[in-house]
Amino acid sequence: MYQVVCYWGTWANYRPGEGKFTPDHVNPDLCTHLIYSFAGLDSETWTIKTLDEWMDLEDKYGLAGFKKATDLKKFNPHLKVTLAIGGWNEGSEKYSAMASDPSRRKSFVTSAVQFLRKYNFDGLDLDWEYPAKRGGKPEDKENFIELIKDLNSAFSKEKLLLTAAIGAAAGTIDAAYDVPAMYKYLDYVHVMCYDYHGKWDKKTGHNAPLYPRALEPSADQALNVEYTLNYLLKKGADPLKTVLGVPLYGRAFTLLNPNSNKMGAPAAPTSFQGPYTREDGFLGYNEICLESGDTEAPWTEKWEEEHEAPYMFRGDSWISYDNERSLRMKAEFAFDQGLAGVMTWSIDTDDFLGLCNGPKFPLLRTLNNALYKRSSGIYSSANATSLSVFTIILTLFLAWRPY
C-alpha cells in the first residue's frame, strides 16, 4: 500500500482571509499519514514541548489542535496522525546539544513517549534541520544515529512510528546522515525534494525540478529529484522506506530584466509575497492558481520540458511551482522507483477551498489518483493512453473482421 504523507503547518491558522487553514479543513481521506507541525525542544529540561499552547492545547480556552488532529482517526480509522518536532525556525544547535549527551537523549526519549501517549499521537517525525549544519557540530552525524537508535528502542515497545524529514542536497546528505544506519532505525524517511532553487540564487530556477536540464551549470544538475534519489540509493537507502517529498507551493523571483524571463535569468535577491502566506519569495499553490486565473493582468505560463515542471511570468514577476501535471509525473516516478509513496509540504497551501474552479485539494487529489492508477496498472501518461486506445481499436477491428 502506497503512502500519501500530509504535513500540516498549523501556523496557517493565523493566515488572513481565505488563506486561514483550521483543523476543519483537513480531509482525512486524502492522507494515509497526517503530520502535525511542529513541536519544539526545551533546552533546559531536554524534553519535548508545545510551541503554541493556544493552538495545540485545550487549556485556557485553547483551540485544541492536538485533539482535533488525532480525532480525525475517527473518520478514517486507517489514518496515522504523528507529531513533527523541529523545523527550520527551531534550528540545529539545541538538537545538537541534546543528541551529544546520553542523559539528555534519555530525558528527551522518555518525554517523547509520554507526550505522544498523552495526546494520542501515533508517532514522532524528526525534522532536525540539519545535523552538522546551521550551528551544529560534525559529530552530529554519529549522534543523530544514537538519538534515533534510542528512540527506536523505546518506540518499538510502545508501537509508535518513528520517521524523519531529511534534506535533499548531496552536501547535506554527506554531512548529516549515515544513510544505512539511519534507515536501520527509522520506519520511514521523508526526503524534502524541494527548495532546490530560490531567490537566494539571484537567478531564476525551479523550486523542485524532476530532472536536470542539459545546459544548466554542472552544479545545478545535481539539484533535482532524480539526482537526490539516485544519490541516496547509492549511499544505501532502502526504497521501501523512502517517501518522496513534493511541494504544494512555489518560489517567486523578481527579474532584473522583464524581457529576460527564461530559466536562469538574472533576478534580484529579494522578491514578492502572496496575500495569505506573506513570505518573501514564497507562494502557496492556492495563491499561485488564483494569480494564473487573472484575466485582467494575465500571466504567461510555460512548461520546462527537461525539468518536467511549470513556471510563469508577468512583467518582472516570475514563479516556479508544481501543478497537477508535474505532481502526477512525480507520483508516477516515485511508484516506478519502488518507493513507499509521496509526502507533501504542506496541505494548507493546496487549493483547500476549491477557489480555482476545481475541487478542493486538487494537488493532493492528483497525487492520490496517480498512485492509485499506477498501483492498479492504469498508466496515465500520454503514451500509455495512446497505446491503450490503439489496443482497444485493434481488438475491435480483429473482432469485426469476417475472416
Query: For 31-117, where are the E strands, in sequence order?
Result: 33-42, 47-50, 80-86
**Which residue type is seen at 381?**
S
**Long-range contact pairs involving 225-229 (C-beta distance under 8 Å, separation at least 24):** 225/168, 225/193, 225/330, 225/333, 226/333, 227/170, 228/168, 228/169, 228/170, 228/191, 228/193, 229/191, 229/193, 229/337, 229/339
C-alpha cell at 320: 516556479
Catalytic: which of 90, 93, 129, 304?
129
Peptide bond into 227 cis (omega under 30): no
Element (H, E) at 66: helix 65-70
Please state, in angstroms and rounded to a whole number, the distance separating the CA atoms of residues 115 and 64.
15
Please state, in angstroms and rounded to a whole number, the distance separating the CA atoms of residues 157 and 154.
6
Relative to beta strand 161-167, strand 80-86 is unpaired
Peptide bond into 352 cis (omega under 30): no
Find out whether 228 and 193 touch, Cβ atoms under 8 Å.
yes
Please tell me the total number of residues recorded for the chain in this structure: 403
**Which residue type is seen at 231?**
Y
Task: Clarify whether 129 is annotated catalytic.
Answer: yes
Cα three-residue angle 330-332-336, rounded to 5 degrees: 115
Peptide bond into 346 cis (omega under 30): yes
Count of CB atoms situated within 10 Å of the CB of 375: 12
C-alpha cell at 12: 496557517
Please state, in angstroms and rounded to a whole number, the distance separating the CA atoms of residues 21 and 283.
15
Please state, in angstroms and rounded to a whole number, the distance separating the CA atoms of residues 120 and 364.
25
Cα three-residue angle 378-380-381, rounded to 5 degrees: 130
Name the CA radius of gyration of the chain, rounded.
Answer: 22
The residue assigned the cell 511570468 is 313
Task: Report in angstroms the alpha-carbon separations of 328 from 245, 248, 298, 365, 371.
Answer: 13, 12, 25, 10, 8
Find out whether 255 and 317 touch, Cβ atoms under 8 Å.
yes
Active site residues: 129
